[in-house]
Amino acid sequence: MAKTIGIVVGVLILGCGVMFAGIPPVAGQCAQAEATAPLVAELPWLQDDLGYESLGPAIDRSVHYLRQLPAEKTFLLCGEHYSVAWLIESLLSFKRIIAEKPSPQALTALLKKQFILCQAAGRGSDRKMLLTGYFEPLFKASLTKSARYRYPLYRRPPDLVTIPRGKGEEKKSGRMENGTLVPYPTRAEIEKGDLLAGQELVYLADPVDAFILHIQGSGRIELADGSQRRVQFAAKNGHAYRSIGRLLVEKGVMPRQEATLPRIVRYLKEHPEEQEAILHYNDSFVFFRWGDGPAVGPQGCLGEPLTPGRSVALDQKCFPPGSLAFLTTRKPRVNAAGEIVGWEPLSRFVVNQDSGSAITGPGRLDLFWGGGRYAEVAAGNMKHPGVLYFLVKKK
């Protein structure tokens, strides 16, 4: 359900494309052997800027997912093969350590003694990753169409077919025509042709609201009686994502460094006459389903609820799903008006629990911020370099 901002705005959850160790990558995919750099000789200062209270439940969700995999399956991490059972043991050992609430000094010493750390390979010689963020939006909506609420989110259509491919490959989606899988209609064809009449899940008041939900992959809607429901990613039409952020940059509408989600949304609202053409540039289209109640977080591609500030989206073909890591980058300082007044260091433990169609290779990461105004601001403006260290217990 992750999304990116800036030039690659819009990552949509596809389900985790997991590749086990020993299965060769296909062309264009990530080789796990190259996803992490050599072991870290000198540990970074492992000071977490969040309370440990949110970290334990996030780890539990990774453990729950991993326990559903064959215990003997292996993943390549930090230059070695580790079984699912050992990844679980690593997570539980770490959880036992943080249960004692050690100081940063004590925690760093304990992890140096008991764990191996290695750095994600990143994008260049400095091994840094491009970090973006995503959040869970909230919009007013209606279960019935009206003059105000007339922009639908659609259920997965019954004629959409998804075919598994080889291990490590993306699934292929389309519709059957005379026994052959053909491309499903594009975004423009779906919306202009009213092709999915009867499949409407809920109606929004603004097409830009629908665009944001397509980007984020999930969200909450508030009905007229004040009740809230969660909408969750169900499927996509199978067309490759095309960034409207990149389109606006190439058209000279805005410079690359300003192509953040808030800036793009503002442009769309200020130029309603251009909205349809811009949004239809992206052929990819997302279908939704009702999610769990608002008290339970949105699900990532592991099928587990995401934890704000802890769950990250990575290329699941590069890094073991559910794995534990330590992240360093920047986060915004925001005033009461929701304006960014500065940036400060971010350093925390995170878990690999999500994926996205633009989160590819060992140099991309999307951090889930949760819901609320701060989450919206942070996710919409986060586009920074960062460093990610994976942790695994020593054998």
Lowest mean pLDDT, pick from 39-43, 49-53, 188-192, 391-395? 39-43
Classify the phi-psi angles of 12: left when phi > 0, otherwise alpha if psi is within -120 to 50, otherwise beta: beta
What's the CATH fold of domain 138-243+282-290?
Ribosomal Protein L25; Chain P (2.40.240)
Tens of pLDDT along 82-139? Answer: 999 999 999 999 999 999 999 999 999 999 999 999 999 888 778 899 999 999 999 9
Tens of pLDDT along 179-190? Answer: 899 999 999 999
Classify the phi-psi angles of 338: left when phi > 0, otherwise alpha if psi is within -120 to 50, otherwise beta: left
Instruction: Name the E strands within the chain.
Output: 36-39, 74-77, 80-83, 115-120, 129-134, 138-142, 151-154, 161-163, 172-177, 180-182, 200-204, 218-222, 228-236, 286-290, 311-313, 324-334, 340-354, 364-368, 383-393
Q: What is the pLDDT of residue 6?
A: 36
Q: Give the mean pLDDT of 207-236.
A: 92
Q: What is the pTM of this model?
A: 0.83
Start and end residues for every CATH 2.40.40.10 domain found in the chain: 32-134+302-393
CATH class of 32-134+302-393: mainly beta
Tens of pLDDT along 245-298? Answer: 999 999 999 998 888 889 999 999 999 999 999 999 999 999 999 987 656 678
